[in-house]
Chain A
Amino acid sequence: MKGGIVALCCENSGWKALASLGDDPVLDGVEAVRLPCSGKAETGMMLKILEKGAAGVLVLGCPKDDCTFLRGSARAQKRVAVARAALKDAGVGEERVRMEFISSVDTPRLAEAIRAMKAALEAHEGKA
């Protein structure tokens, strides 16, 4: 997988779940960026990160009704949808941006989500 995955993590959920993964090999090639809330992740930011050569952007937000800022992850979901539509338009494949709702204590599902994204990116790269 050319370039790494940039994980835009809400500091209340994704960031803590990532921290508890410690140096699990699933985190190889994953660059974590800490945000106050997934609602701070903007569509333009996601596309710019991809432009700079990242293979994928994984936005990690709190599950609905678990968000410290009440609507953050719901906004992030909409912005990821716009980013995916833009990638589809550009013919670059929408799986390069993905949104996952992972709470701070759901370590196994985070590992599974990262594995799923890496597999999707490799599959896409095989095709492209």
Chain B
Amino acid sequence: MTGIFLCSCLGEVCGRAELEKAAGARVFPGERLCTPQGTASMAVSIREHGVDRALVLGCAAAQVDAVCASLRKAACLGTGRVRALRFAKRGNAEGRAASVRAALAALDLVPEVRTRKTKPNREVLVIGCGATGRAASEALASLGRTALMTEAASVTDIRGSAGRFTVRFRNVGGDGENARTFGALIVAAGLPEPDASRKPFVPGRIIPLADLSDRLSGLSRREFPASLAVVLDMEIDETRAGFEEACRACLDAKSLRPVETWVFLHDARVAGPGLEDLYDRAREAGVQFVKYGGRIRLDAAGSGVKVRARDTVLGEEVEISCGLAAVSGYGLATPADAELTAMLGIGTDALGRLQENNIRLLPELTGRAGIFVAGACRGATYGPDAVRDARNAALSAHELLSRPVETELSHAVVDGDKCALCLTCVRLCPFRAMTVNAEKKQAECVPESCMHCGLCAGECPNKAITLPLWSDGIILALSGAAPDAASVAKEKRP
């Protein structure tokens, strides 16, 4: 039976009799329904009269969402079984009656929604054994949670959803595979090293920046270059990590031998604690910074390396030749490895790195619950940011696994008769919740992965998919488009 709760501060909405007649509902007038006491009084009426659907009519200020949420908990009504309407002081009775009818029609179509609790697997898999991966494992351990660290290369398959991922590994010996289940995955796989043999590198003359310090420390006095150039921002804008590495490498080189050093870059990336001081120290030590615009040309001519670029500060072409050139690998190598990305089923950003560049995901979330990313593999190459990512990922994994995974069973429902298995929903779902049920020969939704966004239902060419709490009937009713509740209620309930 539907209960209409009429708040006293609203005064006359439209005739009380008219309300009851409109939908065969029972009207309960009440005092200040948006306060905790008001909610409690409504809950009592709901229990006493066996109300299973509630419509609260309040003034313009009422916190609609908060009232619905608290009443649902207080009167243990299912999701979607409580709706609230706010009426501005203006507005005519006819308009308000129509809104009440629309809301009642929508309420009438809301099915019973159960929730399912599953105990999550408590172990976390950290993919990547670099600094970020280790930071994540330490943070997990400090939260009393066991973590297994592995290299991305040894992972062969990932299935399942938050709380229960099944991951297959290559056996250490390389023959055969083994599988284990984990509650959550933290991906800290870093970025692949650039290929030192391909353009723009020339072995021994133009080398990756990461190898510069080792190479210099291994040289004798005679072999040490008289001049050295570091190049940043070659393909894409460098991060603070590359800038810091360039400054340190030049300062280290000068500490070994008197050597003339240049750093070619678009901008000095100093937005981190201590980086401005490092930049000052490098300049004081004689490192020459050239802020170039556009393309930079390197060619290993004769014994040295010629570097040509346009200096945007002086506004003219600059050309130097040096004994050794080091180019930052950032943005040169192909980004996150495609195979791991496919196994994880998560999106990548415009530059091909893990995690779509969506503000709601920053810093450690991905589209899929239970899968987190941290550090260079998502583009955060600057040390302190990567460690912070790792800690955030560990905390999110801990939050997910410290209580049963509660799944509200109002996920998308596929009508097998109408499904033509066109796979549109399977391809579209950002959360890999839609799969193919081979036995039933239809698409099917995994409740644990479904985020109830309705994209699949909106795209299905045969309207075979319904989101129970947001069915066409409910939306049409809410948009006042349905003339009366009766015609809409006829719709087949999932």
Contacts and interface: CB of A to CB of B under 8 A. Distances in A.
Contact between chain A and chain B defined by CB under 8 Å = yes
Interface stretch (A37-45, A89-97, A111-119): A37-45
Interface stretch (B177-185, B217-225, B302-310, B450-458): B450-458
A70 B452 contact: no
B14 interface: no
Between B64, B356, B454, B457, the greatest number of chain A beta carbons within 10 A of the residue's beta carbon is seen for B454
Contacts of B483: 52
B44 to A, nearest CB: 28
A35 B88 CA distance: 22
A39 B453 contact: yes
Contact of B475 (A19, A45, A53): A45
19 contacts: A6-B480, A23-B89, A31-B480, A35-B454, A36-B453, A40-B454, A40-B458, A40-B470, A40-B475, A49-B476, A49-B479, A65-B357, A69-B431, A70-B356, A70-B367, A71-B430, A72-B453, A75-B458, A76-B458
A19 B61 CA distance: 10
Nearest to A37: B453
Between B61, B479, B480, the greatest number of chain A beta carbons within 10 A of the residue's beta carbon is seen for B479
Interface of B: 60-61, 64, 88-90, 99, 347, 356-360, 367, 428, 430-431, 451-455, 457-459, 463, 467, 469-470, 472, 475-476, 478-483
B359 A75 contact: no
A33 B358 contact: no
Contacts of B478: 33-34
Given A6-B481, A67-B358, A71-B428, A39 B455 contact: yes
A67 B359 CA distance: 8
Contacts of A20: none
A72 B467 CA distance: 15
B340 to A, nearest CB: 19
B481 A23 contact: no
The B interface is mostly helix, strand or loop, or mixed, namely: loop
B428 A45 contact: no
A37 B429 CA distance: 13
Contact of B481 (A40, A54, A76, A79): A54
A41 B481 contact: no
Nearest to B477: A33
B360 A68 contact: yes
A45 B455 contact: no
Given A40-B457, A48-B476, A69-B455, 4 more contacts: A34-B478, A54-B481, A67-B358, A72-B455
A76 B61 CA distance: 30
A22 interface: yes
Contacts of B459: 75
A66 interface: yes
A37 B457 CA distance: 11
A66 B362 CA distance: 11
Bin chain A's interface residue count.
35 or more
A36 B341 CA distance: 27
A44 B359 CA distance: 31
A41 B454 CA distance: 9
A34 B454 CA distance: 13
Given A37-B455, A39-B455, A40-B467, A45 B360 contact: no
Nearest to B359: A66
A23 B60 contact: yes
B364 to A, nearest CB: 16
Top 6 closest A-B pairs, CB basis? A40-B454, A69-B453, A52-B481, A23-B88, A39-B455, A37-B453
B90 A40 contact: no
Between B99, B347, B457, B470, the greatest number of chain A beta carbons within 10 A of the residue's beta carbon is seen for B470
Contacts of A48: 476, 481
B90 A23 contact: yes
A70 B358 contact: yes
Interface string A81-123: 0000000000000000000000000000000000000000000
Contacts of A70: 347, 356, 358, 367, 430
Contacts of A19: 64
B289 to A, nearest CB: 33
A50 to B, nearest CB: 9
Contacts of A42: 457-458, 472
Contacts of A79: 458
Nearest to A46: B479
Given A23-B89, A36-B467, A65-B358, A71 B479 contact: no
Nearest to A62: B360
Contacts of A67: 358, 360
A72 B340 CA distance: 25
Given A23-B88, A52-B481, A71 B455 contact: yes
A6 B367 contact: no
A39 B454 contact: yes
Interface string A1-43: 0001010100000000001001100001001011111011110
A49 B367 CA distance: 32
Nearest to B367: A70
B60 A69 contact: no
Contacts of B88: 23
B203 to A, nearest CB: 40
Contacts of B481: 6, 48-49, 52-54
A102 B357 CA distance: 18
B57 to A, nearest CB: 15
Contacts of B475: 8, 33, 35, 40, 45
Contacts of A31: 99, 479-480
Between B359, B453, B478, B480, the greatest number of chain A beta carbons within 10 A of the residue's beta carbon is seen for B453
